[in-house]
Amino acid sequence: MSAILNLTEAKAKFSEVVDRVSQGEEIIVTRMGHPVARISRYEPATSRQRLGRFQGRIRVADDFDTWPEDIARDLGVTD
């Protein structure tokens, strides 16, 4: 459930707002009766990337990024 506070109230009670949000409550801040911001608990993004996961399991060939002559010529990437 979201609590609604006007901007003046949210500024005056900012420390309390942070405490409430850290407990999982969501706060909607209004200005002149219109919602302008939502304050919610910070949730760090979960990373699926695992650096080094395949280290030692795969090998990249020395000529991995070398184009065959005919393809390089056709693409205009010859030296």
Look at residue 8 in the predicted model and tell me its pLDDT: 96
- The span from the CA of 49 to the CA of 47, in Å, is 5
For the chain, the domains span: 2-39
Look at residue 54 in the predicted model and tell me its pLDDT: 81
Look at residue 57 in the predicted model and tell me its pLDDT: 87
Total length of the chain: 79
| Confidence check: pLDDT of 77 > 90 | no
pLDDT confidence tier of residue 79, bands split at 50, 70 and 90: low
Look at residue 76 in the predicted model and tell me its pLDDT: 86
Summarize pLDDT for 16-75 with one digit per residue, the tens.
999 999 999 999 999 999 999 999 999 888 777 777 878 888 888 888 888 888 988 898
Q: Which CATH code fits 2-39?
A: 3.40.1620.10
Tokens of 16: 């309390």
